[in-house]
Amino acid sequence: MIGLSFGLGGIEAEFWRLVFVMTRIGGAMLAAPLFGSAGVPPQVRVIATGAIAVFVCSWFPAVTAPADLLSLSGMVTVAGEVAIGLSLGFVLQLAFAAPIVAAEVISGAMGMSMATAVDPASGAQSPALGQYFSVVMTLLFLALGAHLHWIALLVESYRSFPPGGGWFSADRMEVIVSFGSVLFENAVLIALPVTLVLMLAQLVTGVLGRSAPSLNLFALGLPLGVLAGLAALIASFPVLGEQMTGLIGVALDFSEGLITP
């Protein structure tokens, strides 16, 4: 069937079918922010991918591996499967990037750009405030059961688009690109309340500087900006939670749009 034979007959066919099904699921797990985090051991990711693939093979018997998996046409089919999985995970990745973009803006306005930490998801440097937003986003994502909904959409994609079912189209690419504008829109909405308060704090600092030129604005402006930013973050936390919850819902809607025929 595949071109490689170990003398095990039907067991080989089921093995290659399982490996083929794991390509789409593995691509999605790799690109998703929670499942593809650097803190998740690769062994755990492979085990989770294999477990989901076993259920997919049971629920969708019609999903089979190409007759010649190692041929050019088979490799193209595998590449299509990986592209579907990466697209589903990438949309979710963009949703988790919006709070980090907002944290960059807020940290710069507060004068806390130098306060950075290592992002466990990517291993890169990111603002400490971005780590806070990322943790809140992750907790909301898990508390709402959005990870289960996303896995359900990933499994449902095999019903909507079986392997080789022609997933690539201009509409799918438009959905992914249009979600980029949603990312920046939500980043602005998250950062807007705090940046507005910080702008007022800077305005007060400027007025004080004009009325009392002897004041040291560098010694006064930084503590005032940090205190005003922290107060604004505490006051806007309920709104922040609602915005992140809405962003998670929008990301799931866009993911569902990717697998809609």
In a domain, 149, yes or no: yes
Domain region containing 187: 10-258
- What pLDDT score was predicted for residue 114? 65
Question: Could you give the angle at the alpha carbon of 38 between the alpha carbons of 142 and 112, nearest 5°?
Answer: 80
Q: How many CA atoms lie within 13 A of 185 on its CB side?
A: 8
* Per-residue tens of pLDDT for the chain, all 261 residues: 445 555 555 677 788 888 888 888 988 888 888 887 777 788 888 898 989 988 888 888 777 777 777 777 778 888 888 888 888 888 888 888 888 888 888 887 777 666 666 665 555 666 678 788 888 898 999 999 898 999 999 988 888 888 766 666 777 777 788 888 888 888 888 888 888 888 888 787 777 777 766 666 666 767 777 788 888 888 888 888 888 999 999 999 888 888 877
In a domain, 151, yes or no: yes
- Helix or strand or coil: residue 118? strand
| Token representation of residue 208 | 């004080």
Instruction: DSSP for 48-103, please give it.
Output: HHHHHHHHHHHH-TT----TTTTSHHHHHHHHHHHHHHHHHHHHHHHHHHHHHHHH
In a domain, 2, yes or no: no
Q: List strand residue ranges (DSSP E) for the chain, in order.
A: 116-118, 125-127
- What pLDDT score was predicted for residue 6? 53
pTM for this entry: 0.80
In a domain, 3, yes or no: no
Question: Is there a contact between 60 and 158 (Cβ–Cβ < 8 Å)?
Answer: yes
In a domain, 5, yes or no: no
Question: Is there a contact between 128 and 247 (Cβ–Cβ < 8 Å)?
Answer: no
In a domain, 58, yes or no: yes
In a domain, 1, yes or no: no
The tally of domains found in the chain comes to 1
In a domain, 188, yes or no: yes
Question: Is there a contact between 6 and 29 (Cβ–Cβ < 8 Å)?
Answer: no
- What pLDDT score was predicted for residue 120? 57
